[in-house]
Structure formats: structure tokens, C-alpha cells
Amino acid sequence: MSLRPTSATARLGILAAGSALAALTLTGPAVAAGDSDTNSHPRVYKGRVIAKGGLLLRTSPHRGSKVIRSVPYGKVVSIYCKTTGDHVSGNNRWYLLTNGTWAWGAAHYISNIGTAPRWC
């Protein structure tokens, strides 16, 4: 029994599927404009910790959530995105930080370097 397609239509369908797969492999998945850098990675934003006693990083964007670790004053952090959560000194924005451990930090204590992060 032969595993090769016998009809010309079947052969063309397999050829078209192979071409589509090759095109996806060469170009990568589609990414929205402004959400990635030239290497098709999601954009990471930067910020500087301005909390004099350091910034507590938490498991969720809420003041009562578990503290994972802290970041010292003046440290530059990588920000993946922002969301809303508990108010901290009148600011309800929180940033998801990507420095080793993914954790949430209150935006009130982080000064943006460059553009503000995108929404999560």
C-alpha cells in the first residue's frame, strides 16, 4: 500500500500546507505593533524604585498580599505591564516586575524610565 497521495488535488493541498508552515516558521507568530522589540519579544519597560525604605514586592496587586521580597531604593527594575489594585497614597496602579521573580510593586513607589508600561 502506498502512502503517497494519488490525486493532483491532494498533492497540491499538502504542498500548500507545507508552504504555510514554512512561512510561519520563518516569520514567527503575528505580534501587535508596539508590543514587541525587533526580536519579537514582548517589550519590557524600566523604572526606578523611589521608596526611601525600599519597595516590597507582593504576590498580587493588593497591600494585604504576601510579600515575596524587597527592592532597595534607587534600583532599576524591569516592568512587564501595569494593572489596577489597592490604592497606595492615592495611586491604584501596580506594576508586574520581572526581575528574577515575577512580583507586583505599587507604581506609587516606581518612577518610569521612558514610556509608561502597557496594560496587562
Domains of the chain from N-terminus onward: 45-113 (2.30.30.40)
For the chain (120 residues), the mean pLDDT of every run of 10, in chain order, is 48 39 34 47 88 97 97 97 97 94 96 96
Give the pLDDT of residue 88. 96
Output phi, psi for 99, to 5 deg.
Answer: -85, 85
Residue environment code for 65-104, b if the CB has 16+ CB neighbours within 10 A, otherwise e:
beeeeebeeeeebebbbbbebeebeeeebbbbbbeeeebb
pLDDT in tens, 39-51: 556 688 999 999 9
Give the pLDDT of residue 100. 82
